[in-house]
Structures are given as structure tokens and as C-alpha cells.
Structure 1
Amino acid sequence: MTTPAGVRGVREPGLPGRLLAVERDALVPLLRGRAKEDFALPVAACPGWTVRDVLAHCSAALTRVVENRFEAGVFSPESNERDIAERAAWSDRRVIDELESGMTGAGPVIAAAGGLLDILALGEWVHAGDVREALGVPGAYAGAGLPYALDLLARVTDGMGHLPLHADLDDADEPLRLGKVSGKRPPARYIGDGPTLVRLYAGRPVDGAPYELAGAAAAELNIFGE
């Protein structure tokens, strides 16, 4: 895998859509081939939610983006639970169909939003990893989408003014710079692989993966607050 060096500053509007399209092509066929009972499996990263709940949450969020429905309180825990409840009577196939449609149609809307929705595309990719992990699929937060996810993670953390970090990735040719250098603190340093870095920024367990982190606590990296 090769990731860009020093990605920051200039936003690439089409990147979130490309990440969603790559993930759609990997995740949807996987889901369509699973047994019904697999959708009732618990998702460790989202306590209280099943695989189906996570998929319903993701498909609802993308549908809101496509339809430009952002009422007060959208994406709050209460709103997310309502979206899942509204889809409780749907078939698994219908949920997957909505997810596929959303992953196809949301890219242009996110691109036009000027960066405000970029983190949503990244969150969708992380949730796809949550689902793969619940299903026992190896490389849950890896795969073809990882280079795009790391690129988008660098841009999102820069836009957030997140703490600066230099990542020397085992599976990349060049270092990746995340967050925004402000002079208030020196950049933290990460040495390890890409999937573990994603887990840290998403607040997911690293499952004993070997990595080194200096200049910041792991909890400081979490950008989703989950």
C-alpha cells in the first residue's frame, strides 16, 4: 500500500465519494452473501447494536445526505435510534439496497458541502470495518479502501485542527502527517500499520497490535468521541 506524504491543507472534493464507492464494491457483495442470522450478531464497537442496526444507521445517514435532510438533532444518539427503529420492519435486503444506493449517491453531495460532511464518509468506512469484524472477516479495517481512508483521515484531522501527528506506517512508502501543526505542541509520533492507526483515531480496540505512540495518549486521537 502507498499513501500520500504530508497530506494536508488542500481539500480534494471527490475523495469521500471515491472512498464510499470502493467500500460499496467490497461490502455490499459480502453482505448479500451472508446468512440471515449473521445480521443479528452483536457489534462490539457499537454496544447494544447488531450488524443490522449498524447497517440501518449507515444507510439512513447516507440517505439523509442524498436527500439533504438535516433537521435539528440529526445524527444525535436519539436520531440514530429513530432511524434504526424506522427500518425495523424492513427486510435485510431492503436495508442493503438502501445502503448501496446511499454509498453511490452521497459522494457528489459530500463533495459540494465544502468539507462539512467529509467525516461522515470516513465514519461510514469505519462502520463497515465494525461490521466486518463482527462477521469475523479478516482485515476488518484494511482492504482496498484503506489508502483512501488514511488520506481522508489526514484531511479531516487537519480541518478539525486536531493534534499534529507524524505516522510512519509499516505498510506505506511515505510518512503521513495528520492534524494541524500550530506551534502549541510538537507533533506526536506513530509507528505501526495503517489499520491500527485507523482504530486509534476511531476509538476502536487495537487488539494487542504492535505499535508505538509517543507525544500523545491514545485517547487523544479519537475523532468520533465514541
Structure 2
Amino acid sequence: MDSVRDPELPGLLLRTERDDLIPLLRALPDEDFTIRTCCPGWTVRHVVAHCATALNRVVEQRYEKGVFTPEANERDIADVAELSHQQVVDALERGMTDAGPVIAEAVHGKLDAVALGEWVHAGDLREALGEPAAYEGAGLPYALRLLASLTRARRTQPLLARLEGHDAPLVLGADSPEPATYTGAATTLIRLIAGRPLTGTRYELTGATEADLIVFT
């Protein structure tokens, strides 16, 4: 798969995920926003609030150094504590709609990881809510392309990923004549690179450890 940066790809991923995720969140009863997710200490409400505030910071170009630290994330969540659940969903929908052009124009793709991280968090939400194929959906092909581009730019652990149902391997990370190899489902690879629970998955990994593959948490 091509790892050259496509500046329109992050926005495409976000808009595609918006069309899947927002209707799900709109239909939730209020009590489901208190369900715990795999993100330590965060409920569904917290993850939605984090994603909404992060994306709207991008839209408003308020992303100074250190703005996406754990401490800053908690402050952002607290800032929208007075909003209703559906108002926070409104904010998330705006962010997923409008962030793409700003990410596209960012120098050296420095905001591309925001789009991929938001897509992973959408999977966190679906998993917490008991939805099937949490880290899959219509956005998965775009997420894999963005992952290839992002890891190449960051020169992360070289990895040749042979994905079930894909003819061509996915090449991640720095150039290497002897990359580590992964064989398994694309959704399990997403769990690996995001440090998400692997219970119930099957895969083969040689030449690297699970920790070596984590791009972000």
C-alpha cells in the first residue's frame, strides 16, 4: 500500500467515520454515556468530549505546543462538562466535518495523527457499546493508508504486515531490508499500534515485540 502522504486523506477518514459514528451516538440513551471504555478512567462521555474538543482545537487552530498532553485533555473535557451529551455530540460532528482542510494544510502533516487517533477512539466507543467490528467499518482502508504514511514519516519500527483479505502487504515504518513481520487481521493490527486490548485475537508477529509497534495510546 502506498505510504506517500495524501493531504486529503485525514479529512476523508474523519468524514467517513462521522457518517458511521454520529448516528450511533445520537441514538444512545443518556445512561450509556456513563459506560466505561478501554481508555483508563474515561467513560463514553469522556471519549466523545475529548474527540470533540481536540478536533475543534484543530478547526480553530488552537493547538499550541503541549495542547494534546494528558493534562490538557482532562482540562478540555472539564471545559465542556456543562454541555448536554447531545451538545457534545454536536461539537464532535462539527469537528469531524471541518477539521480536514486544516489538517491537510498543516506543515509536514504534523496533524495527521489527530485524524487517525480520533478514528481509533471511535473504535473505542463502538467496543464499549458492544458494537461489532469496533475497529473496522468503512473508514478502515483510509485508516490503513494513513497509518502507513504516518509511520513512514515518523520512521517507526519497520514492519511488513500481511493482512487477511488484502492482496498487497502494508509496509509500515522506516525503510529496512529486514522488517519485522505481522500476519493477521487488519483490525488486530490497529489494536496493536494503538495499544488496545488484544483478548480474543490471533496473529503472528516476528522480529518485534507488541510494545515496539505502538504508535500512540
- Structure-1-length-normalised TM-score: 0.93
Q: What is the alpha-carbon distance in structure 2 between the residues aligned to residue 205 and residue 171 of structure 1?
A: 22
Q: What is the alpha-carbon distance in structure 2 between the residues aligned to residue 43 and residue 157 of structure 1?
A: 26
Count of matched residue positions in the alignment of Structure 1 and Structure 2: 216
Q: What is the alpha-carbon distance in structure 1 between the residues aligned to residue 30 and residue 168 of structure 2?
A: 42
Q: What is the alpha-carbon distance in structure 1 between the residues aligned to residue 94 and residue 191 of structure 2?
A: 27
The one of 49, 58, 66 equivalent to 2:42 is: 49
Q: What is the alpha-carbon distance in structure 2 between the residues aligned to residue 131 and residue 70 of structure 1?
A: 24
Aligned residue in 1 for 2:166:
172
Conserved in 2, the CA contact under 8 Å of 1:169 and 1:175? yes
- Give secondary structure in 1 for the equivalent of 2:42: coil
* CA shift digits 1:164-196 (9 cap, x unpaired): 11111112121111111146xx20001001000
Aligned residue in 2 for 1:88:
81
Greater Cα offset, 57-66 or 73-82: 73-82
Aligned residue in 2 for 1:159:
153
Deviation, structure 1 residue 76: 0.9
Question: Is the counterpart of residue 213 in structure 1 residue 189 in structure 2?
Answer: no
For structure 2, list consecutive stretches of 5 or more residues without a partner in the other structure: none
- RMSD across aligned positions (CA): 1.0
For structure 1, list consecutive stretches of 5 or more residues without a partner in the other structure: none
Aligned residue in 2 for 1:148:
142
Amino acid paired to 2:27: G
- Give secondary structure in 2 for the equivalent of 1:206: coil
Aligned pairs for 1:59-70 (under 5 A) are: 59-70=52-63
The one of 12, 15, 19 equivalent to 1:25 is: 19
Deviation, structure 1 residue 73: 2.4
- Give secondary structure in 2 for the equivalent of 1:189: strand
- Give secondary structure in 2 for the equivalent of 1:49: coil
Amino acid paired to 2:174: K
Amino acid paired to 2:210: A
Aligned residue in 2 for 1:116:
110
Conserved in 2, the CA contact under 8 Å of 1:58 and 1:99? yes
